[in-house]
Structure 1
Amino acid sequence: MLGSTAALADGEVCAPVSKVPLERHLRQLSLDLLGRPPTYEEYQAARAKGEVTVEDVRALMQKEEFYSRVRAYHRALLWSNVSSSVNNNGNSRLSGVGSTTDAYSLRGNSSRQLRGANGQGCDNFIPQDSCNSPRQDPHAEPTTAKTCYDTRGVPLPVSWDYDTTYYRCDRLDQNPTDATITSCELAVSKGRIPAKYLYFCDMRRQSNGTLLPHLCLPDPAKTNAAALSEEVLDTDGSGRVVSFKHPSPTSSTPLTRLDRCSVDLVLRKDGRGFPINGSYVPQNGCIQREGYVARPAPYWSTTGAEVRVCAIEAQTRVSNPWTMESCTTTRFNNDRSCGCGDRMERCEVADATANVHKLRVDSINAEPELIADSVVRRDEPYFNILTTPRSFLNGPLSELYRNPQEGLGVLSISAPTAAEALPVVPFAETATWKEYVRGPEHSGVLTTPSFLYRFPTQRARVNQFYAAFLCKSFAPPDNARQPAAEDACNRENNLAKRCGCNYCHATIEPTGAHWGRYAERGALFLDPSHFPRFDPKCRDCALSGNTTCNNECGQYVMQAYDGDGASSLGMLKTYLYRTADEEQNIDGGPQLLVQRMLQTGELERCTVRRVWQEFLGRPMSAEEKRLYLEPLAEDFARDGHRFKALIERLVMTDAYRRID
């Protein structure tokens, strides 16, 4: 409990001190420490004893409910919720369930580049490896066998449909009804369509899996296709229409021609208009589907059963075999030759089997709470929560950290230590948490993905650290003055020096340097072995005007806006405008910041104030600060910064027991 001086002073201010009765005191303690009222047996025990002792408080803090309160307290303190901070645009999310009628496939925006339209999967009825059996549109397909893969193993379309974004497709067995018209050849022979439109007769799959013939012609109700009235006939003399084109296009005509659909792909062209081998794009107006293949169970599987996957997504390449462009970047979901990788690691699902993104986010959110829980549970110095390399992972995090391709396109996260040092937990085991030790660059909760994503810039990280652990906010002084608009100081790019901004940024910028080795808007550690302070390749790209350097220099200064920037091309962005002292902050990381703050006493005083507000439901008054703040902070430090000891002292004070 507090020393006699504080107690005497407290008595002088509020005498006579009225304290809550025993039963109410126990109820307060139980609600504050355990989140529930006392049980009947607990009331009986307290009445028999006649008081609530320090030993009783310590016993309450050994219960599991107390540690649930500890986790909840730190969840609120750290704002541990990245659900709105991690953007998942769905481009790597698979649809389907992997069954014989619903193969896994990318059906979001990615499917436009892969198959010709959004929301399109592959052909669930044609195996890719034997793509000529069955045939969906034999009347319009090659008379010889279709080619299932190109010469380097990239899957090719096995069937097609006309895209109703451009075409109107009418069933030929209806209006009038004639159930005997089951093929395009029969539709022609029975006079339902002119023979010249045979290539625009489309056998379309129905919901029950059957194929029925449809006549698909440019839709006069669609502004993009209504003007395509001129028919182009095949050069083989058959008299069949092979294209519809605009009779009098101008330079501003958006669509001038639609050709018949087939299983042939179009090659993408480079900047000079030359086709690029192996770089395919779907034909305009056509949905071109590949078939399916069987693959081993994906990483999120709980059964280990084999699944059906569309042939594009089933690929495991690390690069396009034709262009050598990487498949290990977000571009994989637009490249026909890439696929989802080994065990489908580049893709995810959100269905009845698992919601991969949600499970990952929930796991990321929980990690800081578990670090805090472990420090308090072991009665370690409290500020270990800010410095310990120890952490915890469950199934989703174990999979994510051990397989760098997982989360590609959604998350930018470094494995916190070498793969062999990471516990192996199956993805489905979301409630199984295992302890491990992260690399030496890590510093408690301050380098968890939760903190780094929730506060995505160095400035935001500084602001939250000051608010949560120093009880400070950044605001210019009352006498702050903004310089005249024409003052050259307003054009200073270094905010630590810019007039008006430097009131706050003179502190924010050097403090933010402690997170300088962590990328902004992600949780990627910029390891010096891969991200040196200066990269001559990036400088050369910048000087040549290639400011992206083929997407390899995003962390480096690639454009100059002032003299410092011009002399810093090719330098890691975090080193721009840094002094020698600030570069030491980059090397020291958040651990160095915490060590410095521990020398000031501010961490202890802020923790006392926050715990006071948590248990008394209000901030300290000015008088309470005078009476309690320093004694509690000093005792906290003397007790080895043990969090439970601080709570024990606080709840035994007269202030806690007083009736307000």
Structure 2
Amino acid sequence: MRLARRFLAPLATAVLLASLPALAEEPVCAPVSKVPLERHLRQLSLDLLGRPPTYEEYQAARAKGQVTVEDVRALMNKEEFYTRVRAYHRALLWSNVSNSVFNNGNSRLSGTGSATDAMSLRGNSSRPLRGANGQTCDNAIAQDVCSARQDPHVDPALPSTAAACAAERYDERGVPMPVSWDYDTNFYTCTRLDRDASGAAIPGVTSCETAIANKPSLDSIRYFCDMRLVGSTLVPHECKPRTLTLAAVVDAADNNRVVAYADASSRLDRCGLKLTQRRTGGVEIKGAYEPQRGCVHREGYVTRPAPFWSAGSPDVKVCAIEAQTRLANPWTLEPCTTARFNGDRSCGCGEGMRRCEAPNGSTHTARIEAISEEPELIAESVVRRDEPYFNILTTRRSFLNGPLSELYRDPQQAVGVLSVTAPAEPAVLPNLPFAQVDTWKEYVRDPEHSGVLTTPSFLYRFPTQRARVNHFYAAFLCKSFAPPDNARQPAAEDACNRENNLAKRCGCNYCHATIEPTGAHWGRYAERAALFLQPEQFPRYDPKCRDCALSGNTTCGGECGQYVMQAYDGDGANSLGLLKTYLYRTADEEKNIESGPALLAQRMLQTGDLERCAVRRVWQEFLGRPMSAEEQRMYLQPLADDFARDGHRFKALIERVVMSDAYRRID
């Protein structure tokens, strides 16, 4: 199969809008020798279907003595052709966003949920939850059953009533507390006490109590005797600080036992079941729990229904922190519906564990693959229905599968990884379970949407307004941004070089005088995200943001990230509290913001550039090379005119190209 090369000029060197260069003139020699019938059929089958003809198809062509227009149309009605259409638009739109969405894995669970391996957040998230990276809960102790102690030699006695058990295992507002602890080996070196100096087992030493009974001098470090898992067995260890300058701190009132290790600048207190509270301004914040330095605090496990990615499966074992479903910290009222949830002990993974990801990363992969596939299906649907081709830039019709249905219908999914506005109200969206990755349903998006140009795939793949403009011009107008041959920079001291508005800055204005007003069509879509900035939520001007900016509070509690909060010139100073996308805009450009990408597509249809570019791209796709200068003279405008007269039907354009003399010519 012939492959077309596609290039994108970088905006960093852009200063002039120009057509993509054509190859040097290649005269078409006469008489034209055409490929034989069998080779023509093979070319068509490979180009249209991605496979060689079958024996029966060869036989049918030989019997007719030629390949007719009807044969080409029949090939374009096969499912293999629509697979080729999807592949063509995948390359045209660069719709793979796997490298465009950063996922640090902090919301990804580990564990199978089995009886010995509870699901939990064990990566970076486990440090604020349990005190160290890579930690899980206590798989041996149920959170709601007070019948066991891992370190009974130092822990309080077991609660005698259900009420006392609940009070120990949860705080007053239901946040799960630790049921066991270990010394963090990043701070301590822990040595087994059930072995002698030669490494032989000491008979009868199976706990800290028996170790102390065997060697009474160990009673002084009772609090630093830690029952630690070795394989599946708890073994007594003596834990000493790695920092050699830390000296033992003893409590005379407690039989001279060591209660901490400290020096002039640092202190490590004994571990236990109690958590510390975060301090702000020297004040302890109730409910803002922090693990004690040098300690690993483990809560117990609970049993819950299977998570959303495997709904309907048997119940699973989940660590008590991750099993929580709150929308906010019950003490501080900080939200659990943002990326901060995996560092707050009171939040958890949400209902159905929707804020977290599957242990093997399959949920993230399924979402990314679905986002990448959506624009291809939009393009395929337009071609399959023989609609005007440029509907791919304007249609509100789209498709979703299980992962997208769940993502759009539940804003708690993928928090901190994907920032996506649901393209329609939940009542409009098809309701599919996550597991249905291969089932796609059609629906109609809200009025602000415009074909492939507002899909999460396009918005994430081209994360800034300028990048979106650049690819639109390259893909659909066959134009790039490049400097004019006679471009000259003014002297370095010229004030024009310091102009913040790139549409006016010397040298940059050649290109950005076009890029900036064109980029305004995506002005209601956030950069580096797929968020639609609803006018009701993000008005053109927000006085609250201006007041914060004037007071020096440039974050304004995280509520003004989309607004101008700092001034770098006079326009900026007069624009504090203005939505960033409106900065430096003219009245006409503000209309572009409100009308969206659909207006851009409608305007470009008036120029003829969309038709000519489509002709050039189809030509390169099916002939395996760009048009020569002579071929542009002979074919470009006639094919573009025919394309327009045919109602911009993509299959009709392909038909004309593959039935042309140039396609059948032997070069």
Q: TM-score, normalised by structure 1?
A: 0.94
Q: Give the counterpart of 1:188 among 205, 212, 228.
A: 212
What amino acid sits opposite 2:641 in the alignment?
Answer: E
1:173 aligns with 2:190: no
1:588 aligns with 2:595: yes
Query: 1:570 deviation in Å?
Result: 1.2
Residues 284-328 of structure 1: per-residue CA shift (max 9 Å, x gap): 000001111122221101543222211111111111111111111
Query: 1:233 deviation in Å?
Result: 1.1
Structure 2 equivalent of residue 280 of structure 1: 289
1:29 aligns with 2:29: no
1:388 aligns with 2:395: yes
Query: 1:509 deviation in Å?
Result: 0.5
When residues 60 and 136 of structure 1 are mapped into structure 2, their CA distance, relative to the original with a 3 A threshold, is same
Structure 1 equivalent of residue 7 of structure 2: none
What amino acid sits opposite 1:186 in the alignment?
Answer: T
Residues 463-515 of structure 1: per-residue CA shift (max 9 Å, x gap): 00000000000112111111211111111111111111111111000000000
Q: Give the counterpart of 2:353 among 328, 344, 349.
A: 344
Structure 1 equivalent of residue 97 of structure 2: 82
Does structure 2 retain, via aligned residues, the 8 Å contact 1:313–1:339? yes
1:155 aligns with 2:170: no
What amino acid sits opposite 1:215 in the alignment?
Answer: E
Structure 1 equivalent of residue 414 of structure 2: 407
Aligned partners of 2:207 and 2:605: how far apart in 1? 81
When residues 214 and 405 of structure 1 are mapped into structure 2, their CA distance, relative to the original with a 3 A threshold, is same
* Fraction of identical pairs, as percent: 74
Aligned partners of 1:231 and 1:542: how far apart in 2? 51
Structure 1 residues 283-362: aligned runs within 5 Å: 283-351=292-360, 355-362=362-369
Q: Give the counterpart of 2:234 among 201, 207, 211.
A: 211
Does structure 1 retain, via aligned residues, the 8 Å contact 2:222–2:257? yes
What amino acid sits opposite 1:539 in the alignment?
Answer: R
Does structure 2 retain, via aligned residues, the 8 Å contact 1:350–1:357? no
When residues 202 and 63 of structure 1 are mapped into structure 2, their CA distance, relative to the original with a 3 A threshold, is same
Secondary structure of the residue that 1:473 maps to in structure 2? Answer: strand
Aligned partners of 2:528 and 2:422: how far apart in 1? 16
What amino acid sits opposite 2:447 in the alignment?
Answer: P
Does structure 1 retain, via aligned residues, the 8 Å contact 2:147–2:158? no
What amino acid sits opposite 2:357 in the alignment?
Answer: E
Query: 1:623 deviation in Å?
Result: 0.5
Query: 1:119 deviation in Å?
Result: 0.7
Query: 1:179 deviation in Å?
Result: 4.5
Aligned partners of 2:335 and 2:603: how far apart in 1? 44
Secondary structure of the residue that 1:278 maps to in structure 2? Answer: strand
Query: 1:419 deviation in Å?
Result: 0.7
Structure 2 equivalent of residue 422 of structure 1: 429
Structure 2 equivalent of residue 238 of structure 1: 255
Structure 2 equivalent of residue 263 of structure 1: 273
When residues 455 and 198 of structure 1 are mapped into structure 2, their CA distance, relative to the original with a 3 A threshold, is same
Aligned partners of 1:11 and 1:312: how far apart in 2? 70
Structure 1 equivalent of residue 3 of structure 2: none
Secondary structure of the residue that 1:161 maps to in structure 2? Answer: strand
Relative CO higher for 1 or 2, CA cutoff 8 Å, sep ≥ 6? Answer: 2
Structure 1 equivalent of residue 17 of structure 2: none
Does structure 2 retain, via aligned residues, the 8 Å contact 1:103–1:292? yes
Q: Give the counterpart of 1:618 among 622, 625, 630.
A: 625
What amino acid sits opposite 2:62 in the alignment?
Answer: R
Aligned partners of 1:324 and 1:205: how far apart in 2? 37
Structure 1 equivalent of residue 643 of structure 2: 636
What amino acid sits opposite 1:320 in the alignment?
Answer: N
Q: Give the counterpart of 2:221 among 183, 197, 203.
A: 197
Does structure 2 retain, via aligned residues, the 8 Å contact 1:94–1:105? yes
Aligned partners of 1:633 and 1:575: how far apart in 2? 37
Query: 1:13 deviation in Å?
Result: 4.5
Secondary structure of the residue that 1:461 maps to in structure 2? Answer: helix
When residues 168 and 13 of structure 1 are mapped into structure 2, their CA distance, relative to the original with a 3 A threshold, is closer
When residues 622 and 238 of structure 1 are mapped into structure 2, their CA distance, relative to the original with a 3 A threshold, is same
Does structure 2 retain, via aligned residues, the 8 Å contact 1:172–1:192? no
Does structure 1 retain, via aligned residues, the 8 Å contact 2:95–2:373? yes
Instruction: Give structure 2 stretches of 5+ with no counterpart.
Output: 1-24, 160-164
Structure 2 equivalent of residue 5 of structure 1: none
Does structure 2 retain, via aligned residues, the 8 Å contact 1:11–1:17? no
Q: Give the counterpart of 1:60 among 75, 87, 102.
A: 75
Query: 1:144 deviation in Å?
Result: 5.9
Does structure 1 retain, via aligned residues, the 8 Å contact 2:388–2:648? yes
Secondary structure of the residue that 2:105 maps to in structure 1? Answer: coil
**Number of paired residues?**
633
What amino acid sits opposite 2:240 in the alignment?
Answer: L
Structure 2 equivalent of residue 455 of structure 1: 462
Aligned partners of 1:18 and 1:656: how far apart in 2? 11
Structure 2 equivalent of residue 141 of structure 1: 155
Structure 1 equivalent of residue 20 of structure 2: none
Does structure 2 retain, via aligned residues, the 8 Å contact 1:389–1:444? yes
Misfit runs of 4+, over 6 Å = none
Structure 2 equivalent of residue 70 of structure 1: 85
**What root-mean-square deviation, in Å, do the aligned CA atoms of Structure 1 and Structure 2 show?**
1.4
Aligned partners of 1:482 and 1:143: how far apart in 2? 80
Q: Which moved more, 1:71-80 or 1:317-326?
A: 317-326
What amino acid sits opposite 2:124 in the alignment?
Answer: N
When residues 193 and 300 of structure 1 are mapped into structure 2, their CA distance, relative to the original with a 3 A threshold, is farther
Secondary structure of the residue that 2:308 maps to in structure 1? Answer: coil
Residues 140-167 of structure 1: per-residue CA shift (max 9 Å, x gap): 1123637111111111111000000011
Structure 2 equivalent of residue 103 of structure 1: 118
Secondary structure of the residue that 1:14 maps to in structure 2? Answer: coil
Residues 521-562 of structure 1: per-residue CA shift (max 9 Å, x gap): 010111111111111111111111111111111111111111
When residues 200 and 52 of structure 1 are mapped into structure 2, their CA distance, relative to the original with a 3 A threshold, is same
Does structure 2 retain, via aligned residues, the 8 Å contact 1:398–1:427? yes
Does structure 1 retain, via aligned residues, the 8 Å contact 2:112–2:359? no
Does structure 2 retain, via aligned residues, the 8 Å contact 1:187–1:193? no
Q: Give the counterpart of 2:506 among 474, 496, 499.
A: 499
